[in-house]
Structures are given as structure tokens and as C-alpha cells.
Structure 1
Amino acid sequence: MKNYLFLLFLGFTVGVFAQEIPRTTNTGRIIKAEETNKTGFPIRAEENTKESRFLKEKPKTIDLRENPNGLMTAGDVIKEKWTKDKEAREEFRKDQSLGNVVTEGKFVEVYCRDHEYVDGDRIQVFVNGVLVEKSISLSAGFRPILVTLQDGFNSIQFVALNQGTSGPNTAELRVLSDKGEQLAKKEWNLLTGAKAELIVVKN
């Protein structure tokens, strides 16, 4: 009788455990392990691309009207206002050539500013011998001048009307195409009456 009860109890216990242990069968496909680099982490698909997407992006055009300070911070502008000009030298009395640029556009945008000590420098601008700006006071921000081009060679001259309160007449010049691409970035140091000339060739 005792043996019978023991077998009955044993059979009941096995049946309970059998119900609690889940039975699973893996009928899915075998997943291949991903390749890993030396760090042991899986290599993502983006890391395997041969060419970065940033290399495919075209450089952005420049808009000095939205940012007349040329990407400078407010602190940079204040610092330049209090930076002394170069010492006025006799060589700055000579006319200066700013070189040549070539474009296919109908016009160029000319931007100029006093990139050193802002001390009241003023200039005149001539395009092909015609006065287009009688007097421009150079500040820390860029001043735009739209220049319509004729076919062939175009002369843009900047004449120093004064030297401000210190040093020579100093300026940074940038020339942008009709598409906003920068064609030239120049500087000049002029004594009163001297001029700097840029040639723009329209093809």
C-alpha cells in the first residue's frame, strides 16, 4: 500500500513540473552573426560606406548682406575697432593692383570694410572710369556695392579719400559672383589719394 501511494505521489509531482517547464522548438532560420571591428561592437551599415555624404554636399554660397561682419562675433568686431592700424609708410602712397578675377555673370557684388582699427577711413569707387560711389565710410561691417559688368575687361578702382585718425586707409575687399560664389578676397593699405584697382573679366 505504501509503495502504491509513493508511486502515485511521484507521478503527480513529475506531471506538475512537466506543466511548468515550457517546451520550445526553434523552427526559424539561422541568423548569421554580424561582423565586428576590433572594439567588439557590430559594424553598422553607415560605417561601411566608401564616401562620406558630407563630401557630396556642395559648399554653401556667401551672403554678406545677412552677416555684414563676415562671420565674426560681436566680440571680434569690438576687438578690431580697438586694434591699431599699421604704421603709415611711404610705399602705401603708390597705387596697388588687386589682381584679376574672371566670371560669366552679368554683375558682381563688391563688399568692403575696415578690417583693422575703425577710425573713419573713407573711399571713392570708380567702375570703368565712372564715379559710382562718391564717399563711403568704412566700418567694421561689410558695405555692398553692385557692379554691372560689360563684356571683356572691367576696372574697379578704390581711391583713398583720407587715412582716418591713424595709419593708412585700410580695407578688406571681397568680390562675389551673381551666384554668391566668392571670386576674390583682398586687402589694401593706402595713403590719401592713392588707389587700389581690381580687374574683373566677363567672358
Structure 2
Amino acid sequence: MRLNFLLICLIGLSLSSYAQIEIPRSTNTGSILKAEESKNSGFPILKSQETETESRFLKDKPRTIDLKEKANGLMTAGDVIAEKWTKDKEAREEFKHDQSLGNVVTQGKFVEVYCRDHEYVDGDKVQIIINGQLVVSSITLGAGFQPVLVNLQDGFNSIEFVALNQGSSGPNTAELRVISEKGEQIAKKEWNLLTGAKAQLIVVKN
């Protein structure tokens, strides 16, 4: 009888000491999850408090158009063919005179100048003079844009396009676009010149 009593006491003491052992608590300090009820199923959906408040796609700035990658500047192949068959304007007396393409202002160290024959592609040629120095002695204007890098000096910068010929029809015709150091288009101009006349663009660097 005593033996049974001792066994019962030992078992009771063992259970009491086991119950006093503490279970380790988690020290995880990660993000807190909140439960929100789904409108469709009625079941809770766990969402983190650390979700982004703005999509990364909204943070990305739109990419500027690079005329070097697509020389025709958003023109389709059909547009190019159509323009090749367009007639030039008739040569006029006013095209004998030099033309001013106006002024543009930038804070960059350089600009990229792109020019092309935007009417009938008939072999128009021009000479490019920058700040009084001959930079391009002769360039034939095609349907696609041709780039010229212009390093700017502080203040006024003169870019002149001298018509070397009139091609096979009409005046010397061209479309000019100026792209800033940041890749933004800051000017879009056109000229119609007879042989020997020039078009001048002034770029002001602040």
C-alpha cells in the first residue's frame, strides 16, 4: 500500500514541475499582417502594412524619343515613300534671301541637330557653319534625319545651313529638329532656300 502511495506522489510532482516550464515566445519583429474580409468569398484576406503606396511603374518617367534610334522620327515606311513622290514647292524670289529660324534657349552643354529633306527627296545639299566655323562642308539631305552634335559656348551660338544646290526640283527644302542634352525636342523648323542662301538658328546657352 505504501509503495502505491509513493508512486502516486512521484507522478504528481513530475506533472507539477512540467507544467511550470515556459514555452519560448517568438521574437519575430517582421511586418504586421491585417485581416480584411473579401467582398466575394467572405473569408479574411491577409494584407501587409508594408505594401507599396505607389506602383513602381508610375514612378518611371516616360522615355523620350531618340531620333538616332528611329531616324525617320515616327514616320512609317509608307510615309517615307509618299514623301519621296511629293513635289517641292515652286522656287520663289523670296527664297533667295537668308532666313532666320529664330532662337532657342537651353542650359545644356550641347544640342543635337537633326535635318532631313521633308518634301521631294531630290539630292538637296547643305553646308553647316557653327559660330563662324565650317563644320560640315557638304551633306546630302535624305528622307531620314541626319544628326549633327553641336557643343555650345556660353551665350549665343549661331548654326547656319547654306544651300549648296536646289536638287532636281524646286528650292532646297529641309526640316530641322533640335534635341536638348536631356533628350527633349526644343525646336522644330523648316527652310526653303535657293542656291547660296542660308538659314540661321540661334541657340542661347544660359
Q: TM-score, normalised by structure 2?
A: 0.71
Which residue of the other structure, out of 111, 115, 125, is the alignment partner of 1:122?
125
Name the residue aligned to 2:85.
82
- Residues 63 and 192 of structure 1: CA distance in aligned 2, closer, same or farther (over 3 Å): same
Shift of 1:140: 0.1
The question of 1:170 aligning with 2:173 is answered yes
Equivalent residue, structure 2, for 1:105:
108
CA distance in 2, matches of 1:119, 1:78: 13
Question: How many residues in Structure 1 have an aligned counterpart in Structure 2?
Answer: 159
Please report how far the alpha carbon of residue 180 of structure 1 lies from its aligned counterpart in structure 2 after TM superposition. 0.7
After superposition, the C-alpha distances for 1:111-161 in whole angstroms (9 at most, x for unaligned) are 000000000000000000000000000000000000000000000000000
- What is the identity, as a one-letter code, of the residue corresponding to 1:155? S
* Alignment root-mean-square deviation, CA: 2.4
Distance in 2 of aligned mates of 1:174 and 1:71: 13
Can you give the 5+ residue segments of structure 1 that lack an aligned partner in the other structure?
1-29, 34-53
Aligned amino acid, residue 138 of structure 2: S
Closer/same/farther in 2, CA of residues 116 and 202 from structure 1, 3 Å limit: same
Give me the whole-angstrom Cα distance separating, in 2, the residues matched to 1:59 and 1:169. 36
Shift of 1:60: 3.2
Corresponding residue for residue 40 of structure 1: none
Provide the residue aligned with 1:190 in structure 2.
Answer: 193
Q: Which aligned runs of 4 or more in structure 1 are off by greater than 4 angstroms? A: 30-33, 54-59
Structure 1: distance between partners of 2:159 and 2:93:
23
Identity %: 80
CA distance in 2, matches of 1:99, 1:87: 24
Cα gap change, 1:193/1:62 in structure 2, threshold over 3 Å: closer, same or farther? same
